[in-house]
Amino acid sequence: METYAQALLYAIPFFVVLLVVEIAYGHFVKDQKHKVMDSVSSISSGFTNIIKDTLGLGFILVTYPFLLEHLALFKMESTWVVWLVAFIVIDFAGYWNHRLNHKINFFWNQHVIHHSSEEFNLACALRQSISNLIGYFPLLLIPAAIAGVPNEVIAILAPVHLFAQFWYHTQHIGKMGWAEYIIVTPSQHRVHHAINPEYIDKNLGQILCVWDRWFGTFQEELDNVPPQFGVLKPAGTWNPIPINFQHLWRLIQDAWHTQNYYDKVRIWFMPTGWRPEDVKKKFPIEGIVDVYGFTRYETPASTALKLYAVFQLIATTLFLWFMFYNFSEIGVSGLLLFGFIVFTGIYGYTTLMDRKKYAVYIELFRGVFGLLFILFTKDWFGLNGYLNFGSWLVVLYFVVTIISGFYFTYFESVVSEQNTIA
């Protein structure tokens, strides 16, 4: 966990720089692919994922070191060959894991968040799951374990492989010539994120596109079929936490309501989107039919609310960056508390972005909780050791949070309603 936190310490600034470059480029060429609320939601989703992963919140079905110990037929030396073999095996396993997520009802729940944005940009790359609480990916690395690929090599390559999937989430790069036959490109990944019938469940590769070409899941981006992004059952919220569990909740409801006991069991393992016939008739769910004519999710958002959302995003980024920098010093119990506070914050301000009335209570709770924590500890997880007035800055942040929660819930919403009536 600490190794992953250290990797994120350097990765987060890198991602931020690329995001700023993409936003600035879109502004200057007058072809902006970012919307404030959507991008804040996307990046916030990424934050929930890295909190979960760095704190080890989940159950690992089997670890790679265990498989290596019991399955290795020989030991590969740490040469360029072992790094190449490890990369190929990780990418091959990633393809099949990705395909499993798209094809099976239960596993789609842990991937749907990544496709939930109705925009396509670098921010949506950060929409990663918190519902993948059972870690089974090492099972797909059995070939590497048999070949004796050292655990240290896998541990280094796995996050590099993940981070290398960030760059191709953009609409500003066209087709890339000969590279289209070797690696996953922005053009290919636009197809993957599209909800057009021609593009559904295509281009499942992560770094190499050869797996899609070999196993029949490749689709070129067509000039006459512009990709439309999102999911066929739209999320309808900026809050990443509900998005993570919407599909699972629908499966639970369908399994409960169906009268067929066989369907209660098989619904979890059927192709994504499958529902029992009796449930479909009694509880129909509307999805997108016309991919070019659906209404994208939006909420009333003043300039002030957009600026506040960006402010919260920057504050959360700084909180997490400090947490990764101070990871070992904070300690396990402190990290869990820190993660809870940040996680609650993300839930609070994204609920406020949804213009839900109960958002004010979440903002009030976390604000008061944060202030009481500083009052009793006289610090903010050791921040004063780096900055004498650090905890006072955090106090100011929580005060702003509480005031803003009330303002955007009761005052600005009232003004907006009056303007609408007028």
pLDDT(3) > 90: no
- Per residue in 59-89, pLDDT (tens digit) is 788 899 999 999 998 888 778 899 999 999 9
**pLDDT at 11 (0 to 100):** 85
β-sheet bridge partners, residue 208 = 183
Which SS3 state, helix, strand or coil, does residue 339 take? Answer: helix
Question: For 169-183, what is the mean pLDDT?
Answer: 97
- Write out pLDDT tens, residues 307-337: 999 999 999 999 999 999 999 899 989 999 9
Output the average pLDDT for the chain: 93
Which of the four pLDDT bands, split at 50, 70 and 90, describes residue 123?
A: very high
Instruction: State the pLDDT at residue 416.
Output: 52
What is the reported pLDDT for 2?
61
Coil, strand, or helix at residue 139?
helix
Give pLDDT, residue 391: 96
pLDDT bin (cut points 50, 70, 90) of residue 1 is: low
**Contact predicate 36/309, CB 8 Å:** yes
Task: Return the sign of the alpha-carbon dihedral for residues 254, 260, 261, 266.
Answer: negative
Q: What is the sign of the dihedral through the CA atoms of 320, 326, 330 and 335?
A: positive
* Residue 250: φ, ψ to 5°: -65, -40
Largest CA distance in the chain: 77
Q: Is the pLDDT of residue 344 over 90?
A: yes
Secondary structure (DSSP) of 147-181: HT--HHHHHHHHHHHHHTTSTT--SS----GGGGG
DSSP 62: S
Beta strands 134-135 and 59-60 are parallel
Residue 151 has pLDDT above 60, yes or no: yes
Burial class (CB in 10 A: 0-12, 13-18, 19+), 185: buried
- Interval 252-283: pLDDT, tens: 999 999 999 999 999 999 999 999 999 999 99
User: What is the reported pLDDT for 413?
Assistant: 64
Q: Is the pLDDT reported for residue 420 higher than 80?
A: no
272 Cβ partners below 8 Å, 6+ apart? Answer: 102, 103, 104, 105, 108
| Dist CA 180 CA 22 (whole Å) | 22
What are the residues facing 411 on neighbouring strands? none
DSSP category for residue 418: H
pLDDT of 421 > 50? The answer is no
Q: What is the pTM of this model?
A: 0.93
pLDDT tens figures, 33-63: 999 999 999 999 999 999 998 888 777 888 9
User: Quick one: average pLDDT of 22-27?
Assistant: 97
Tens digits of per-residue pLDDT, 194-246? 999 999 999 999 999 999 999 999 999 999 999 999 999 999 999 999 999 99
pLDDT at 418: 44
Per-residue pLDDT, averaged over 133-161, amounts to 91
Query: For residue range 378-411, what is the model confidence (pLDDT) as tens digits?
Result: 999 999 999 999 999 999 999 999 999 999 999 9
Tell me what percent of the chain is helix, strand and coil, each rounded to the nearest 5: 65, 0, 35
- pLDDT at residue 162, as a whole number: 93
pLDDT at 150 exceeding the cut of 60 = yes
